[in-house]
Amino acid sequence: MEKSEQKTVRAKRPHLSAKFHENLYQVICTGVCLIVALLCLYPLLYTLVVSFASPSDILYQFVIPIPTRVSLYAYIQVFTVSSFLGRAIAVSVFRTVVGTVLSVFVCAMLSYAIARKNIPGKKYFMYLMIFLILFNGGLIPTYLVIRGVGLLDNIWVYVFPNIINAWNVIIVKQSMEGIPAEVEESAMLDGVNDLQNFLWVVLPMSKPVIAAISIFTLVFQWNSWYDAMLYVSPASSKLWPLQYYATISLNNLNQINNADLGNLEGIMGIQDVDNMSIKMALTVITTLPILCVYPFFQKYFTKGVYLGAVKG
């Protein structure tokens, strides 16, 4: 009887050992993910807290300053002194919405055309897309082209040069090639033309990958400021997007901080604040909109990239 019990205990030991190692593995993975999440969250939390903090809080608390008194001075100073801020936000919203919609639609149409089996020269179109990923026209030739077509100091300079993105075209093309041909043939038998087939059949079935490239394009358009520096002169500063305006403002923090707010200082009891709070307030203003939009696309993000990568 004792021998049988010993055999039973020995038989259970490997199972218990495997379960222990599995639990240990899960604990380690959870710990690593938690550490990475905290490292990603810390800059956001630090930026938000410092934007409401006073100079003494920033000076004596280094890791994460805990405001002794929440102050909106930095935001009031930015919005009151920065007369162009509202217009800059409007320009950024325009370029982001219009630029994203046009770019995604045109890239999807081009991908649909390349993905079709019977299009002539399909191989050369793919070579062209790959070439565009590896090389660009260069800064000076691009500037000369944009000047030649009359887009300097024009709000459409943010939209037209960025409509075609070769990387997005290839991703969507790979996804559309995975759509069964029978689905399109069935729609054609019902009397739809190519445009209707693209709009009513192919696009709805490509929703995940369309959402993925939409978030790529949306983030690019919202964060872009270099094109404003190149193609929009100070005389047309009303066309500056928010990111470029914030870049200029970050170089003139003393001017913003030392500006006279008139009676507003006495009414609200506003006191001086550190330039760091002004800087963080500008950062929050420029990043908050995109952080609010991103969660709505997150559920499509991984699935869309996966579909574009493996289908073909």
pLDDT at 178: 82
Closest CA relative to residue 91, chosen from 226, 225, 240: 240
Q: What are phi and psi of 165, to 5 degrees?
A: -120, 110
Q: Work out the angle between the directed axes of helices 275-310 and 242-250 (0-180°, nearest 10).
A: 140
Query: What are the phi and psi torsion angles at 213 (to 5°)?
Result: -70, -25
pLDDT for res 72 = 80
Residue 181: the pLDDT is 78
Closest by CA to 246, choosing from 49, 91, 98, is 91
CA distance 111 to 126: 10
Judge contact between 187 and 197, C-beta under 8 A. yes
- The pLDDT value recorded for residue 97 is 94
Query: Within 13 A of 138's CA, how many CA atoms are on the CB side?
Result: 3
Per-residue pLDDT at 190: 77
Handedness of CA 127, 132, 133, 138 (dihedral sign): positive
* Count of C-beta atoms within a 10 Å radius of residue 34: 10
- Paired tokens of 221: 């358009």
Question: Residue 165, CB half-sphere, CA atoms under 13 Å: how many?
Answer: 21
pLDDT at position 265 is 47
**Among 223, 275, 269, 301, which residue's Cα sits nearest to residue 70?**
269
d(CA 143, CA 30): 50
Measured CA to CA, the distance from residue 180 to residue 86 in angstroms comes to 48
The pair of three-digit structure tokens given for residue 199, joined into one six-digit string: 């709009």
pLDDT of res. 92: 93
Residue 65 in tokens: 């300053």
- Express the helix, strand and coil content of the chain in percent, nearest 5 each: 80, 0, 20
Per-residue pLDDT of the chain (312 residues; tens, 9 = 90+): 455 555 554 555 555 577 777 888 889 999 999 999 888 888 888 888 888 877 666 655 556 667 667 778 778 777 776 667 888 889 999 999 999 999 999 999 999 888 876 777 788 888 888 888 888 888 899 999 999 999 999 999 999 999 999 999 998 988 888 888 788 778 777 777 888 888 888 888 888 889 888 988 998 999 999 999 999 998 888 899 988 888 887 776 655 555 544 444 444 444 556 677 788 888 888 888 888 877 776 666 655 455 544 444
What dihedral angle (degrees, nearest 10) is formed by the CA atoms of 295, 283, 49, 57? 170
Return the pLDDT at 117: 67
CA distance 242 to 90: 8
- Left if phi > 0, otherwise alpha if psi is -120 to 50, otherwise beta: which for 180? beta
199 vs 183, 195, 233, 278, CA distance in Å?
A: 13, 6, 40, 47
Structure tokens, 171: 């991703």
